[in-house]
Amino acid sequence: MTTISQRYANIVTQGWTMMFLVFLANLSIDMTKCAVNADCSVWAGHIGIGGVKFITVIMMIYAIVPMLVRTVTGRWIRIAVLPVTVFITLFYVAHELSHRGDKAFGIYHALDITHHVFGVWVIITAVKWLRLKDE
């Protein structure tokens, strides 16, 4: 039988995993567009090597958080997951807004919006999880 705490942990884990997959899908689509157009100068000018390092750190966070949620017990993980989720979600929204003049609203925004929905879903669940009394 699954406790409510385990249920919330499952939702948080799956939400983080899905946000990572959406992030990877966006990255793959952007790289594919560069390859098809035979022009990756946008990447070189937009993010540069510093951006690649930043993306690497973000990917590490996406990979580590679900594992921590599923393997670490204690209230501290429930406390830590909420601000990290809020940060990642708001960062993703801010990044999308910074590009609003670069591209018209279209199919590419569908993945961004999907990421936002997952982020909000995880934030709501993380708040509920945090409010539970320790078991």
Give rounded-to-5 percent helix, strand, coil for the chain: 85, 0, 15
- Domain locations in the chain as residue ranges: 4-131
User: Sign of the C-alpha dihedral, residues 58, 76, 135, 72?
Assistant: positive
Contacts of 59 (CB under 8 A, 6+ apart): 20, 23
Query: Model pTM?
Result: 0.89
pLDDT of residue 98: 80
The three-point CA angle 10-122-17 to 5° equals 60
* 77-125 tens-digit pLDDT: 999 999 999 999 999 999 888 876 666 556 768 888 999 999 999 999 9
Residue 70 contacts residue 111 (beta carbons within 8 Å): no
Residue 20 exposed, middle or buried by CB count within 10 Å (0-12, 13-18, 19+): buried
Q: What is the mean pLDDT of residues 49-67?
A: 93
Residue 22 contacts residue 14 (beta carbons within 8 Å): no
Q: Annotate 77-108 with b (16+ C-beta within 10 A) or e (fewer).
A: bbebbbebbbebbeebbeebeeeeeeeeeeee
pLDDT of residue 116: 95
